[in-house]
Structure 1
């Protein structure tokens, strides 16, 4: 009888990535307990944005930790989506994830710098900073959904497309809630800077989505 060799994809690096992101989240909770509790109910209560939407908000350590958690899980979620729906970019899955993480990180940094530059040029720094903090906070909150989906796709229901679709619905719902609340709370400022707000939406929000959508379609 000849031995039958079976190959198993190593989950060690995936486990380390997910565990590291969980440690980042736990550190944020440990260091900023009250802030974390307000953050957890963000889609249902805008208290977090109201309390912490002030000077230095984007450079606060809690915001930085949660943004790091979001970047890791966003990149990992895209990595899993790519492997389920498309062909991997590299033979080494770790290199594939590293590339996606680098692209996501670079994209968000460049986008943020462009937004801040636009605010400086058109003298709407306060509005742009409010938009950035509000949008990033809700995106960070939706990364909790990404983390749960990542764990399910890696350890429980591997390659389950329904998990991806459900996660996308929840992620979009959370961020739409954030956008609606933002426009409601800043409607007077948005109306007075309506032209700049439309320019901001077209160039820095809609255009990137169209480009990414066209890439995925091709």
Structure 2
């Protein structure tokens, strides 16, 4: 009687990472059900922003859980996008780790610079509200990233069409957030137009230009 060797496959690192992000999402839904329901319909109803912008803003557990969910899925999305359009070794965890590190550093640097600008010009409250609005819509768009990541990993691998649809939805969600932000703060922006232009040039447009130039090279 010959022995039968049974091979046990280890879980793929992408599966583990996606599951970890899903844990953060599940905790957010379980612990903060009312916030989660308002958060899910954010592009169609701005209730979540109106109700929670003044209550803790960035420093509340639900927002932090959704931000962790966003960071993980944003990093995987960039990894899969890069793997689809450029030559990249499949399932390269080191590349993903670098992407996530750069993404976290990029977002933290922008946030610290914006708080520093708020301190200099005595607009800390306004900066906190702006950051809460922007990160909330980015966190919501990470739901699209999660679905796209699942499709790209398990269903339609390296599908450029799926990536294009996901990018369109992500940009649309964040554009809705930007439009509502400008509408809600139009009086403040007009009263501080010079500072608003300075803010756009130094903290929004310049980082994108630098990153775009780096990727182009």
TM-score (norm. length: structure 2): 0.92
The CA deviation string for residues 69-127 of structure 1, in whole angstroms up to 9 with x for no partner, is 00000000000011111233x78701111111111011111110000100110111122
Structure 1 residue aligned with 2:84? 84
- The whole-number CA distance in structure 2 between the counterparts of 1:65 and 1:91 is 28
Unpaired segments of 5 or more residues in structure 1? 1-9
For 1:94 and 1:11, the matched residues in 2 are separated by 13
CA distance in 1, matches of 2:53, 2:144: 23
Determine the structure 1 residue equivalent to 2:159: 160
Aligned to 2:98: 99
Q: Please identify, of 15-24 and 205-214, the stretch whose mean Cα deviation from structure 2 is larger.
A: 205-214
Query: Aligned ranges for residues 172-183 of structure 1 at < 5 Å?
Result: 172-183=171-182
Deviation string, structure 1 residues 181-208 (Cα, Å, up to 9, x no partner): 0010111111111111111111111111
Q: Structure 1 segments of 4 or more deviating over 4 A? A: none
Match of 1:73 in 2: 73
| Deviation string, structure 1 residues 124-151 (Cα, Å, up to 9, x no partner) | 1122111100000000000000000000
**Unmatched runs of 5 consecutive residues or more in structure 2:** 1-9
For 2:55 and 2:194, locate their aligned partners in 1 and report how far apart those are by CA, in whole Å.
25
Q: Deviations over 1:149-171 (max 9, x none)?
A: 00000000000011111100000
Conserved? CA contact 1:127–1:189, under 8 Å: no
Corresponding residue of 1:171: 170
Over aligned residues, Cα RMSD in angstroms? Answer: 1.6
What is the TM-score of this pair, normalised by structure 1? 0.92
Quick check: 1:117 aligned with 2:124?
Answer: no
Do 2:39 and 2:48's aligned partners in 1 also have CA atoms closer than 8 Å? yes
Aligned to 1:198: 197
The equivalences for 1:204-215 within 5 A come to 204-215=203-214
Instruction: State the 1:217 CA deviation.
Output: 2.1
Within 1, Cα distance between the matches of 2:40 and 2:64? 16
Count of matched residue positions in the alignment of Structure 1 and Structure 2: 209
Change (3 A) 1:59 1:158: same
Q: Is the 8 A contact 2:49 2:133 kept in 1?
A: yes
Return the offset for 1:216.
2.2
Contact 1:57 1:133 in 2 (8 A): yes
